[in-house]
């Protein structure tokens, strides 16, 4: 009978030791996670979440913004889909058509767009403003879809030229 008791006691002690060892390793793991969390939090707080930013608006681009507002261009044109619907969206006109294209329309106007008789410095300012807006993002925003097997793919949008 004493052999059975000793055997039973031995198994209880062994189980307790294993559990205590598991507790120690869990505790060590938890402490290591806490220790890693502190420098990671400091990194994220100071510089880890910085997004790429566009450069600040130049003086010339600010002048172009003032002209854009003074001539009420937003009544006919849009940025990021917001604004009037008579003229085209100007968000990415510089990257898609070019600065010369924008300058030509600003200089001469069209049948629907009046000629504002802008001076050369005002034309430069308007183009600088359109370049600033162009650098700020893309419109229309890309659309994505998930394939049947889980891959995310950008939808191909057909542009009417």
Q: Please name which of 67, 58, 51, 81 lies closest in space to residue 131, comparing C-alpha atoms.
A: 58
pLDDT at position 134 is 93
Fill in the DSSP letter of residue 153: E
Question: What proportion of the chain, given as a percentage, has pLDDT over 90?
Answer: 43
What pLDDT digit, counting tens, does each position of 17-66 carry? 565 555 567 788 888 888 888 888 888 777 766 666 678 899 999 999 99
- HSE on the CB side for 147, CA within 13 Å? 6
Q: Which pLDDT score is estimated for 1? A: 46
Q: What is the pTM of this model?
A: 0.61
pLDDT (average), residues 125-143: 89
Domain 59-135 of CATH type 3.40.50.2300: no
Reported as half-sphere exposure (CB side, CA atoms, 13 A), residue 50 has a value of: 7
Burial 101-135 (b: 16+ CB within 10 A, else e): ebbebbeeeeeebeeeebeeebbbbbbbbbbbbbe
Write out the two tokens for 10: 């031995």
- pLDDT value, residue 75: 94
Dist CA 111 CA 83 (whole Å): 20
């Amino acid at each position: 009978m004493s052999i059975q008791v000793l055997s039973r006691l031995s198994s209880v002690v062994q189980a307790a030791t294993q559990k205590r060892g598991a507790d120690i390793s869990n505790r060590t793991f938890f402490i290591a996670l806490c220790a890693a969390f502190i420098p990671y939090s400091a990194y994220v707080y100071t510089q880890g979440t910085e997004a790429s930013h566009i450069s600040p608006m130049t003086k010339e681009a600010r002048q172009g913004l003032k002209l854009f507002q003074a001539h009420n261009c937003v009544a006919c044109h849009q940025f990021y889909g917001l604004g009037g619907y008579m003229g085209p969206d100007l968000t990415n006109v510089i990257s898609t058509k070019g600065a010369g294209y924008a300058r030509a329309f600003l200089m001469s106007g069209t049948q629907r767009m009046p000629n504002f008789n802008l001076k050369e410095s005002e034309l430069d300012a308007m183009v600088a403003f359109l370049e600033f807006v162009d650098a700020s993002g893309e419109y229309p925003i890309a659309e994505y879809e998930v394939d049947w097997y889980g891959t995310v793919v950008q939808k191909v949008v057909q542009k009417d030229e």
